[in-house]
Amino acid sequence: MTTLELSGRTALVTGAAQGLGAAIAEGLHARGAQVALLDHDARANGETAARLGDRALAITADLADLDRLDDACAEAVRGLGPVDILVNNAAMAPMRGLWDIDPAEWDAVFAVNVRAAFFLTRALAEPMRSRGFGRIVNIASLSGQQARPTGAHYGVSKAALLAMTRSFAAELAADGVTVNAVAPGMIETPMVHTIGAEKQAELAAQIPVGRIAHPAEIAGLVAYLSTDDAGFITGATYDINGGVFMR
């Protein structure tokens, strides 16, 4: 296989109906992969899969429903064959102050952002390791690296995802399965539109690069991490934030 070539590979992308997930699904598909798009928004997900055309399969599943995860994986395998690439992208990001977060919302955020990623990874990593090849990419966030006054549960869930990335990376390193995290800053997606144009412009002005990211800029990195060429990269966190956080 040549650089950035993914034909013959099968990917499963969560939260693929819109925003970054749709861009990641598109990026993998454009490089030749077959792509299972998983989302709880059946209509939007179906439209995104239809836009990709051949080699794309829409799977409707609520990631908060633990009992549905194994079935969803089986659906992907039945439709497209064994999954080589898993992208844990879906997330809930309610931006609430510390004292406004109730236990139900805390649990809901963790169920989607962390628990689903853990159990999907476990379900799909086992067959990957038997085949001696796998690529797992977890979409974390700058919010898991830097504190913000709102969305503490979101930030803590993303920090947990970074730790989880390293745990799985260590466990799977010897079997040809890499596990990496991508930690983006602000990206032009529907999630960001919820904060309003004025606030968005104010935040963009604080980014050294002077703008927020295009989803395709994150998707390109995810595609690279999914290739054969990236086999020596594991347990890494890629900061992709326009220079907001450097280390």
Ligand X SMILES: NC(=O)c1ccc[n+]([C@@H]2O[C@H](COP(=O)([O-])OP(=O)(O)OC[C@H]3O[C@@H](n4cnc5c(N)ncnc54)[C@H](O)[C@@H]3O)[C@@H](O)[C@H]2O)c1
Residue ranges in contact with ligand X by CB under 6 A: 15, 17-21, 39-41, 62-64, 89-93, 112, 139, 141, 184, 186-187, 189-192
- Work out how close the CB of 211 gets to ligand X at its nearest, in angstroms, rounded to a whole number: 12
- Work out how close the CB of 5 gets to ligand X at its nearest, in angstroms, rounded to a whole number: 25
**Among 216, 126, 117, 234, which Cα is nearest to 170's?**
234
Dist CA 17 CA 191 (whole Å): 12
Dist CA 102 CA 47 (whole Å): 34
DSSP class of residue 100 equals G
**Among 126, 103, 118, which Cα is nearest to 161's?**
118
Q: Which is nearer to ligand X, 62 or 229 (CB)?
A: 62
Q: Which is nearer to ligand X, 52 or 192 (CB)?
A: 192
Q: 110 near 157, Cβ under 8 Å?
A: yes
- In this structure, the strands spanning 237-240 and 134-139 are unpaired
Q: Which is nearer to ligand X, 167 or 194 (CB)?
A: 194
Candidate list 110, 154, 168, 238, residue with the active-site label: 154
Dist CA 154 CA 223 (whole Å): 25
- Work out how close the CB of 174 gets to ligand X at its nearest, in angstroms, rounded to a whole number: 28
- Please confirm, yes or no, whether 154 is among the known catalytic residues: yes
Q: Which is nearer to ligand X, 65 or 102 (CB)?
A: 65
Q: Which is nearer to ligand X, 94 or 176 (CB)?
A: 94
Dist CA 221 CA 237 (whole Å): 12
Q: Which residue is nearest to ligand X (CB)?
A: 19
- Work out how close the CB of 44 gets to ligand X at its nearest, in angstroms, rounded to a whole number: 6
- Work out how close the CB of 237 gets to ligand X at its nearest, in angstroms, rounded to a whole number: 12
Structure tokens at 246: 């450097």
Q: 129 near 172, Cβ under 8 Å?
A: yes
What are the catalytic residues?
A: 154
